Amino acid sequence: MKLPHIKGFDQDALHKYFKNTGLLMFGRVGSMAIKMVVTITLANYLLPEKNGILNTSMAYVFLFASIAGLGLDSFIVKELHQHPKNRDQILGTSFLLKVMAGLFCIPVIFIAWKFFPLSGIPYYFILILSFTGLFQSLTVVDSYFQSEVQSKYIMQVQITGNVISAAVKLLLIHLSAPLLYFVYAAVFDILLLSLGYWLVYQRKGRNIFNWGYNTQLAKKLLSFSWPLIISGLMVSIYMRIDAIMLKELLPNGASAAGAYATVVMFSEALNFVPGVIVTSLFPAILNARRDDPARYQKRLQNLFDLMVWLSLAFAVFITLASPIIYKLFKPEYVSAAPVLAVHVWGSLFVFLGVASSQFLIAEGYNKLTFVRTSVGAVVNIILNFMLIPSMGMMGTAIATVIAYFTATFLILFIPKTRKQGIMMLKSVFLVSLFQRIFKKA
């Protein structure tokens, strides 16, 4: 379909970005469907207590995942987009930085465990899972394909990896495997994904052995990304601290954490969507910022509107469907249905937060990402302490939604980003929709 001529509009670019977004979305939806089937089957097999132990262990290690990732992914895409001839230097430098960070995480997690151990969970579960940071180093290849707007290769890796991972977990369930085997399976998932990225990169005629390390580039990447490293840690805290606090603050903590893990799975089922859309459109947004400021602002507003519409539709659907969803689980999980109906409304602010984070990166406001997520993490922890003892899982859900809202709209109180915050508010209150309706009338 050919669209009417608009000044500055590139029909071929639209097709390219739309195709890239569609492929990424297809890959993630396929992966999500597979994961949900396996997760439901696994939750019913383990029952809430063991499911809580597994998911709390993973949440504990996830708190440190941002250190291993170094917050580099968006900057790798940006560097590759601006300096494509330096591909091997950029990828090699980023890879080595991630390897060193992954190795660094292993003793850091050990030290953290010495001071803040989790009751009822053996350390060797945590030790095994702590290698995930090291194994995810090859995800820099993902950034390369994003910069080339060639997401079909990412899709191939994700779907293939998830099919193999699902088969392994279902086989373990069939064999009545103990909990330890599922801990190993979680690490295997990351290793399998990294191996897939490496194979598809080699198949494209590239060679990771051509990668090189550049000290100056490493300093440049770290100077840009360090706020995102801390920000990522804060994101990890306020997205994963819930399960840990539930387990530690309630008498039946492991069972509550296990049931809550199913809430998070459904509530965050589409949280990959804003990332996919923004990842694919980020190069186009950067181009608009460089070439046409007015078009840049319009694209941002359209992006925020899209995020709100998608998240609202999802939140309403899950809220209405939550009692039906929990018929898929054993009766031990039924108390989680009303919690899901509340927790899912946090997706509205997650969607907007992901979109606005790219704006902050494009404008060079990287430190603000750290500030907003730090405030969100603090709010979440305080509210969890206040609400969990009296409200249990529901208190955690309420704390999460308020924390997401606080982190996303904190930029309203910062002069240089207030305009963007107002744009997001316009999207939340459907101002653009009403403007179109009254304009037609």
What's the gap between Cα 31 and its chain centre?
A: 14
Rg, the chain, Cα only = 22
Please tell me the total count of domains within the chain: 1
Tell me: the pLDDT tens digits for 155-200? 777 788 888 999 999 999 999 999 999 999 999 988 888 888 888 8
Highest mean pLDDT of the ranges 140-149, 199-208, 399-408: 399-408
pLDDT tier for residue 341 given thresholds of 50, 70 and 90: very high
What is the largest distance, in Å, between two alpha-carbon atoms of the chain? Answer: 66
> What does the pLDDT read at residue 428?
87
Calpha distance 65→133 (Å, rounded): 6
* Contact in structure between 17 and 299 (CB atoms under 8 Å): no
In 63-178, which residue ranges form alpha helices assigned H by DSSP?
Answer: 65-69, 73-82, 87-115, 123-129, 132-135, 140-147, 151-174
CA atoms within 13 A on the CB side of 334: 4
DSSP 2: P
* Contact in structure between 384 and 242 (CB atoms under 8 Å): yes
Domain that holds residue 323: 11-440
Residue 146 above 60 pLDDT? Answer: yes
> Would you say residue 5 lies in a domain?
no
Average pLDDT (107-136) is: 89
> What does the pLDDT read at residue 107?
92
* Contact in structure between 60 and 125 (CB atoms under 8 Å): no
Tell me: the pLDDT tens digits for 367-408? 787 788 888 889 999 999 999 999 999 999 999 999 999 989
Residue 237 above 50 pLDDT? Answer: yes
Tell me: the pLDDT tens digits for 399-439? 999 999 998 999 899 888 888 889 898 888 887 766 666 66
pLDDT tier for residue 3 given thresholds of 50, 70 and 90: very low
DSSP sequence for 212-252: ---HHHHHHHHHHHHHHHHHHHHHHHHHHHHHHHHHHHSTT
Calpha distance 167→35 (Å, rounded): 11
Long-range contact list for 10-14, CB < 8 A, 24+ apart?
13/284
Average pLDDT (230-240) is: 71
> Would you say residue 244 lies in a domain?
yes
CA dist list (Å): 335 to 45, 49, 211: 18, 14, 52
Angle between helices 11-62 and 151-174 (to 10 degrees): 30
> Would you say residue 3 lies in a domain?
no
CA dist list (Å): 71 to 47, 92, 199, 230, 358: 35, 16, 24, 8, 13
> Would you say residue 27 lies in a domain?
yes
Average pLDDT (112-122) is: 89
> Would you say residue 274 lies in a domain?
yes
Choice between 224 and 392, residue whose per-residue pLDDT is larger: 392
For residue 331, the tally of other CB atoms under 10 A from its CB is 8
Calpha distance 124→164 (Å, rounded): 25
Residue 85 above 80 pLDDT? Answer: no
> Would you say residue 337 lies in a domain?
yes
Choice between 142 and 216, residue whose per-residue pLDDT is larger: 216
> What does the pLDDT read at residue 315?
94
> Would you say residue 6 lies in a domain?
no
Tell me: the pLDDT tens digits for 275-325? 777 766 766 776 766 677 777 778 788 888 889 999 999 999 999 999 999
Burial class (CB in 10 A: 0-12, 13-18, 19+), 319: middle
Q: Is residue 172 classed as helix, strand or coil in its secondary structure?
A: helix
> What does pLDDT average to over the chain?
82
> What does the pLDDT read at residue 19?
54
Dihedral Cα 88, 90, 93, 97, nearest 10 deg: -140
> Would you say residue 1 lies in a domain?
no
Choice between 331 and 78, residue whose per-residue pLDDT is larger: 331
* Contact in structure between 372 and 361 (CB atoms under 8 Å): no
Choice between 221 and 109, residue whose per-residue pLDDT is larger: 109
Q: What predicted TM-score, i.e. pTM, was given to this entire model?
A: 0.79
> What does the pLDDT read at residue 10?
46
Calpha distance 283→148 (Å, rounded): 10
